[in-house]
Amino acid sequence: MPSAPKREPPSNTGCMNLDEMESGEEEIENAMEQALVPSKSAVVEWPGDVSLYRLRNRTIMEDIRVRSHAEATSTQMPTNNDYTVGWACALQEEYIAAQLFLDEKHGKPQALAANDTNAYTLGCMGQHNVVITVFPAGDSGTACAAAVVTHMVHSFPNVKIGLMVGIGGGAPTADRDIRLGDIVVSWPKDGHAGVFQYDFGKTIQNQSFKQEKFLNQPPPALRSAIQDLQAEHRVTPHQLDKAIQEVLRRNPRLQKEFCRPKLTCDRLYRSEVVHPEGQTSCAGCGGNLETRDERTEDEDNPAVHYGLIASANQVMKDARIRDKLAAQKGVLCFEMEAAGLMNTFPCLVVRGISDYADSHKNDTWKGYAAMAATAYVKDLLRSMTFSCVKAEKPIQEGLKELSETVTGMKSEVNELTRRQHEQLHRDVLDWLLVINCAPQHDQLKKHRNDNCGQWLLNDPEFLNWKACMNHTLDCKGIEGAGKTFATSMVIDHLEGSYGNSGAVGIAYLYFNSKEQWGVNESLSDLLSQLAVDASTIDIVKTLHGKHQWKRTRPMQGELLEALKSVIAVYSRTFIILDALDEIAELCRETLLSKLVDLQRTTKLNLFTTSRLHIRTEILYLGTAAVVSLDIVPTDEDIRRYLLDRTKDLPTFVRRDPKLQEDIIDTIARYAEAIFLLARLNFETLLDETSKRNVRDSLQRLEKRSKSMPSEHSNSEVLAMAYTQTIKRLENQHPNRHKLARQTLSWILYSKRALTASELQTALAIRDNDSSFDPTGISDIDIIIESCKGLLISSANSRGVTVRFMHSTAQEYFMGQGNEVIHPEAYLAFTCITHLTFDVFKDPCYDEASMDERHSRYPLYQYAAGNWGRHAEQISEDASDPIMKFLECAPKVRSAWQSSEVSFKSPAGHDWAAEGNPLYAVAPFNLPKIVEMLNARGYNTPCEDEGRRPWDGNMSRRVADQLLQGMRALSASGIQAAHEE
């Protein structure tokens, strides 16, 4: 059973340490008096022979003194059982502060539980005997905290009140004036306990805090003492700063480290100001401070705040996340240990604020903050009575559970740390992965027939390329020869040969004409695929750290440097690039020259495919060994493909083996070594309704093929097949036909690949709509089906996008096929109709409402950025709807806000602010509209009222460049990474 402290504590102001106590004459006299009374503990055993000898040779007086002192020690000093308050610190500064505020020091414990290696300081504070421990130097975090307190409550079984006292990072907000040196006390609020745990790894990536875990409340004795103290402090100002000064006066050596720093050292930077990496001082951070008035006489300084403390295994050094948690959860303070204790060790967490949990974190306030937290705790213990504590249950009773879970917790924390590392690595790779061709590769794998193209993998040139370092294999083939399928086979073959070894790097890109990825995007994506090894993480982490908060993308030089370092980690690296002819020539040349450069210094093999022969380009660029190979599907390849596809035919054909044989024969005979042609011709059979119709269809194919001039191009024969597909489109139900025409028009003319939801929204908008009717949405499957095999959907980093199944389809519709679909004007009018929806008359006032708008209206951003580019192509007079939109200033402002293109005119006019609709027309070539706006009184501020408002201020060439740059911006939706 616990008992009251054996000594009455001295007055609160005094602090007597053990040395003073031992040499105090009065103490000795008292001890002697007691020792003269015979008692059962008169025999004193001294360890060791020498001591014994000395004891025997003492004078009587000496003997009495020794005996009496020993007796005083054994009967009057508290035993381990007498300590009821357990106090844990993480840092040495906190441990020192705790010792300085003890009313009395008791020396070291007599005995400790097995395996307990903690350091302890014993003493008393107020009416309580207090045991203080500190975490081993260098250890911090929740797992360590749990282990330390476990030992403490084993060695001191009557500890009933747990305290975690030290420093933390404050989270000031407009409502909470938290300053350095202030004190934050964990306090239950809104049904939540005073401490909550958050998973830092998650925080970064999702910007949400799903993993939060609210922890136990502090014990009732503490909570009522706090309420008492709160009430007291409301009436009489607290004396914490005075108490600290008094302690420091008595310990002048500590003055420098623990006194209150000057007010000018309390600098709260605005959240967006990030401290430059590697710099110790904030000299480079400028004067971007939040302005705060000095505290008045009536305000407590330091102030004590009660509320939520957030705890995690990592240091919070990020003002944005800090602000988010402060706003969403009301978090006042961040620290690293409490989460490890709270659920099994009921404790109060008291933190002196030593920094603002941001990147400017430094140690200036550490000492004072530790003193402030400790001074508060002393005040708190003073206001808590011994009897209150007596009523509490010993923590150890709840400890059985803790000791069982601590082992599990340790491994859980290790696991968590490992996962956080992995998560960070994944986050960095995701950040680099702007294209992501993996879904497309998976799709190709699913649809290809592995027997086709096997010849390529057995070809001596291929085998030679695979075996030799730094070789390039350049595969060329005609349209639809199956180059992309061949590429996917090569990737799988390499992954099969080397994939699991980890010693060989493999990365690939499937280019397509609609996406038009740039050099940097391509390099970034390749880097992301190659930097998967744990040994490469630091290379990409550095890059990420440099750019993440400025929201910039790495520059070309940085990407190449990183790529070089990453490739150096592997014994060999293969980079595979499909359809090089589908990206812009300039981009292709730059990309190839950079990769050939890399080949000179690293062990890098390149595999490329294209329609054009790019061998000369590569030879021209460098000295790499280049071999060319033609990709031509064999007749057998095509037959295998067709055999594989027979499962898609109507049932009545599948039941007729002879008919199937005829289908394969006829189509293969006229396939001209073009997979695509075989595929298109095969698909025309899918809608047939009887065997007879199938045979008719095959006859027509034969007739058409024979009627082709003997010298015909591949595109001619493909065009013929596309024309057959168009017939299938037209023979559908009128609504499906209309859907197909509109869809193909969007796919053909859209300025970038559309996501499925953008396309669905676009197709759901009708002329004269003034609001969005979601019941007009068609399923994406129906949309794709209505286009009869011309489209495919594929997933990339922006979600599911829809595009032409083959680039030749795009070419076909750009040429002769465009008569069968809607003209580009349809896109312009749909965009303008969308922008004039009533709901857009109010602009968004914050990021959240903007995000909501974009997710509710997926096409809106596209429409806002591209309406004018489509309108440029309209030949008829489209000025009415355009003017109707432009003269509604709020809707124009909303569109401007979403369009991702923001600039001021070169003369510095902020067009949007002036309410001049010309700013919305400025990025586009719409001279007639400019003229009409001028006529209605909207004037360009420059003298020369040229076609575009800014023309007068700069040369036409510069204006064009600006325009181009902006278009690229709005098309890619990616923040420009300015190339030096």
Tokens in use for 139? Answer: 């250890």
- Which one of 273-281, 287-295, 832-840, 904-912 is the stretch in contact with Zn ion (CB under 5 A)? 273-281
Close Cβ partners of 607 (under 8 Å, ≥ 6 residues apart): 465, 472, 473, 475, 487, 490, 574, 575, 576, 577
Shortest distance in whole angstroms from residue 7 CB to Zn ion: 49
| Cβ within 8 Å of residue 718, ≥6 positions away | 479, 480, 674, 676, 677, 680, 808, 812
Are the C-beta atoms of 553 and 520 separated by less than 8 Å? yes
Give the binding range for Zn ion (CB under 5 A) out of 269-277, 310-318, 659-667, 902-910.
Answer: 269-277
Q: How far is the CB of 358 from Zn ion (least distance, A)?
A: 8
Interface pattern 318-357 for Zn ion (x via CB under 5 A): ----------------------------------------
Between strands 183-186 and 604-610, the pairing is unpaired
If one asks whether residue 289 binds Zn ion (CB under 5 A), the answer comes out as no
Task: Based on the shown chain and the rule CB under 5 A, indicate whether residue 285 belongs to the binding site for Zn ion.
Answer: yes
Q: Which residues pair with 473 in a beta bridge?
A: 607, 627
Smallest distance, Zn ion to C-beta of residue 355, A: 11
For residue 285, the minimal CB distance to Zn ion (Å) is: 4
Task: Rank residues 360 and 948 by Cβ distance to Zn ion and give the closer one.
Answer: 360
Q: Which is nearer to Zn ion, 360 or 645 (CB)?
A: 360
Would you count residue 360 as binding Zn ion (CB under 5 A)? yes
- Pick the stretch among 80-88, 278-286, 436-444, 535-543 that binds Zn ion (CB under 5 A): 278-286
SS3 409: helix
From the list 276-284, 484-492, 797-805, 914-922, the region that binds Zn ion by CB under 5 A is 276-284
Strands of the sheet with 604-610, listed across from one edge: 504-510, 572-578, 604-610, 471-476, 625-630
Q: Of 211 and 359, which CB lies nearer to Zn ion in the complex structure?
A: 359
Binding segment toward Zn ion, per CB under 5 A, in 358-366, 611-619, 806-814, 924-932 = 358-366
Minimum CB–partner distance for residue 356 and Zn ion (Å) = 10
Q: Which is nearer to Zn ion, 320 or 956 (CB)?
A: 320
Pairwise CA distance, residues 364 & 352, whole Å: 13
Between β-strands 504-510 and 572-578, what pairing exists: parallel, antiparallel or unpaired? parallel
For Zn ion, the closer CB: 233 or 361: 361
The rounded distance, in Å, linking the Cα atoms of 598 and 696 is 57
- Give the nearest distance from C-beta 280 to Zn ion in angstroms: 9
- Shortest CB 741 distance to Zn ion, Å: 59
Q: How far is the CB of 549 from Zn ion (least distance, A)?
A: 13
Closer CB to Zn ion, 282 or 963, in the complex: 282
For residues 803, 806, 811, 817, the Cα torsion angle rounded to the nearest 10 degrees is -80
**Residues 429-448 as x/- pattern, contact with Zn ion by CB under 5 A:** --------------------
275 binds Zn ion (CB under 5 A): yes
The whole-angstrom separation of Cα 747 and Cα 793 is: 11
Q: Any contact of residue 618 with Zn ion (CB under 5 A)?
A: no
The distance of closest approach from Cβ of residue 442 to Zn ion in the complex, given in angstroms and rounded to an integer, is 46
**Residue labelled with tokens 């609020």:** 189
Nearest to Zn ion of 278, 408 (CB atom): 278
Nearer to Zn ion, 180 or 507 (CB): 180
- Interior angle at CA 173, CA 169 and CA 177, nearest 5: 80
Site membership for Zn ion, residue 282 (CB under 5 A): yes
If one asks whether residue 717 binds Zn ion (CB under 5 A), the answer comes out as: no
Options 94-102, 268-276, 562-570, 827-835: segment touching Zn ion (CB under 5 A): 268-276
Q: Nearer Cβ to Zn ion, position 154 or 275?
A: 275
How many residues bind Zn ion (CB under 5 A)? The answer is 4
Task: For residue 220, report the phi and psi dihedrals to the nearest 5 degrees.
Answer: -60, -40
Between 360 and 448, name the residue whose CB sits nearer to Zn ion. Answer: 360
Segment near Zn ion (CB under 5 A), from 271-279, 366-374, 520-528, 623-631? 271-279
Rg (CA), the chain: 39
CB of 620 to Zn ion, least distance (A): 50
Position 948 contacts Zn ion (CB under 5 A): no
Within 808-827, which residues bind Zn ion (CB under 5 A)?
none
Which residue pairs from 421-426 have beta carbons closer than 8 angstroms and sit at least 24 positions apart in sequence?
A: 423/201, 423/202, 423/204, 423/205, 424/201, 424/204, 424/537, 424/541, 425/534, 425/537, 425/541, 426/205
The minimum distance between CB 368 and Zn ion, in angstroms, equals 20
Residue 250 dihedral angles phi and psi, to the nearest 5°: -80, -15
Neighbours of 793 (CB within 10 A): 17
**Segment near Zn ion (CB under 5 A), from 279-287, 341-349, 551-559, 800-808?**
279-287
Distance CA 597, CA 601 (A): 7
H-helix segments, 156-302 = 200-206, 220-235, 240-250, 255-258
Whether the CB-CB separation of 849 and 840 falls below 8 Å is answered with no
Q: How far is the CB of 272 from Zn ion (least distance, A)?
A: 12
Applying the rule CB under 5 A, the residues between 453 and 472 that interact with Zn ion are none
Whole-number minimum distance, CB 394 to Zn ion, in Å? 46
3-state secondary structure labels for all residues of 309-359: EEECCCCCCCHHHHHHHHHHHCEEEEECCHHHCCCCCCEEEEEEEEECCCC
Binding residues for Zn ion, rule: CB under 5 A, are: 275, 282, 285, 360
